[in-house]
Structure formats: C-alpha cells, structure tokens
Amino acid sequence: MHGHRQTFMSTENNKQKQSPRVTHISWGRMDVAALGRGRDFKLYPGGGRKWDWTETGTHHVPGIQPADVQELLDHGSKIVILTRGMQLALQTCPETLQMLRDRGITYHVEETKAAVELYNRLALSEAVGGLFHSTC
C-alpha cells in the first residue's frame, strides 16, 4: 500500500466519510478495502478494525452488546448493520436494539452474507456501520 488517499472536498459542512467496502466474505474470512483480511470486523464511516469479542465479553448468547455498537455510533454511523453469523448463531441483546431505537438509529439484523450485501449498497451513500461475524 502506498500512501495514496483520495479526499473529497465539499461545500457541505457535514460531508460524511465513506465506510470501507467488504470485498470478500466466506466462512471465517472477510477482506475489507484498506483494512485487509480478518474473521470479524467493526466497520464505520471512515474506517474500521478487527472485532475482538473479548474486549466486551461478547458471546453468541446473549450476543451483541451495547458496548459493541457504541464504537460504531462514536464514528458517526447513522445506520447500523448487525450480523447473525453464517448459521444464525450470533444473537443481539435486547438492550442493544433498545439503545439504537432510543437514539433514533436505523438498524438491520441479518445473516452475514445478506448483511454484507446490504452494508456495501448503503456504504455508497449513507453513514453506515456494522458488526460482522464470518463464522457460525
């Protein structure tokens, strides 16, 4: 990677940074533009990183916690995509969905491949973030 980065200038005050595109998804593997390869990712406008479940003590049940989603909101996500895994094993805590509703954040909970398709489509024009789990 060379240090080339495109910057788009606009007269609008709030021009959103684009969320990185997922270029490949398969069992246990995701490739994300500018971030590389990994198993699970947190993605948001302007960037992202590998999603380390141990940071918040996340497990398949009860699932994605408010603390997992907070980073997406802190980076300006106005739409949030939450994945359920390839075999729908990953749940989402009711408190997480309530937090998103309370903050007026649109969210989608989908199987991982469907979630990636939706995320990539929204990333073209929206401030979207997501939590992506590439296995069960």
What range defines the domain where residue 46 resides? 22-133
Is there a domain that residue 6 lies in? no
What average pLDDT does the structure give for the chain?
91
Is there a domain that residue 14 lies in? no
The strand pair at 40-44 and 128-133 is best described as antiparallel
Is there a domain that residue 51 lies in? yes
Is there a domain that residue 77 lies in? yes
Reported as a pLDDT band with limits 50, 70 and 90, residue 30 is very high
Is there a domain that residue 1 lies in? no
CA–CA separation, 9 and 120 (whole Å): 22
Q: Is the peptide bond before 62 cis (omega within 30 degrees of 0)?
A: yes
pLDDT given at position 12: 40
Query: Of 88, 91, 93, which is closest to residue 135 (Cα–Cα)?
Result: 88
Reported as a pLDDT band with limits 50, 70 and 90, residue 58 is very high
pLDDT given at position 81: 98
Tell me the helices (H) and strands (E) count for the chain, helix number first: 3, 8
Could you read off the pLDDT of 79-98 as tens digits, one per residue?
999 999 999 999 999 999 99
Is there a domain that residue 12 lies in? no
CA–CA separation, 19 and 77 (whole Å): 9
Answer whether residue 1 shows pLDDT above 60.
Answer: no
Reported as a pLDDT band with limits 50, 70 and 90, residue 4 is very low
Could you read off the pLDDT of 100-117 as tens digits, one per residue?
999 999 999 999 999 999
pLDDT given at position 16: 67
> What's 117's domain CATH number?
3.40.1230.10
pTM for the model stands at: 0.87
